Amino acid sequence: MELEIRKVVTICEETFIEGFKKSAKPVRIAAALAVIKNPYAGKYVEDLLPLIKTYSEKLGEILPQKAIAALGISGQEVEAYGKGALVGLDGEIEHGSAIIHTLTFGNPFRSQCDQAETLLPSAEKRGAAGSSLDLAIKHKMDPKIRSHHMTFEVRIPDAPRNDEIVIAAVVTSSGRAHPRIGSLHKELEGVFPS
């Protein structure tokens, strides 16, 4: 199987005002999305290993690298991240899941984010060209830090075609603008936000 990427799209957003209040620093989020050929579109294939071997490691390196570069920061400065797959109408959600739910995708991603430790949160679905995908984001070292729980909506007007998959990596250099609900650590200790 041959690696076939039609295009890579990078989306970067900076939010300066949230909830009618200026943020202490802009909330910056970037996602890199690869539009790839789905060789299994329109048919059932039992063994997905060739798909994994062709795409997982390569995209686990390329996409976080492009997202981090779009923010203009180092991997050390990434605070939170996530991943996703949007499968075209003739594919199975399992095809996208096979690519992103592997150590060959996740380990290069975490490595670029200064040896991050948490599992990458994910979003997977099937949709037509132009469908949106809400990428889940969590803190790279501690999933109980709620200030970094957020989503980032992405879409590509002409992708995925029926025989394509969009694979996404998202990173951010901070949490939400004005977090006020406290961490899960405190709630587990019986301390609730006032």
How many helices and strands (H and E) does the chain possess? 4, 7
What residues does 165 pair with on adjacent strands?
36, 87
pLDDT at 182 over 90: no
d(CA 116, CA 83): 14
Secondary structure class of 134 (helix, strand, coil): strand
d(CA 177, CA 26): 7
pLDDT at 180 over 90: no
The pLDDT tens digits of the residues spanning 110-121 come to 999 998 999 999
Residue 40, both tokens: 């299994």
Domains of the chain (ranges, CATH numbers): 5-188 (3.30.1330.110)
d(CA 145, CA 175): 9
pLDDT value, residue 181: 85
The pLDDT mean for the chain works out to 94
pLDDT at 192 over 70: no
Mean pLDDT, residues 37-48: 98
Query: Which residues contact residue 43 at a Cβ distance below 8 angstroms, ignoring those fewer than 6 apart?
Result: none
d(CA 29, CA 20): 19
d(CA 30, CA 190): 35
Residue 84, both tokens: 């996703």
The pLDDT tens digits of the residues spanning 57-93 come to 999 999 999 999 999 999 999 999 999 999 999 999 9
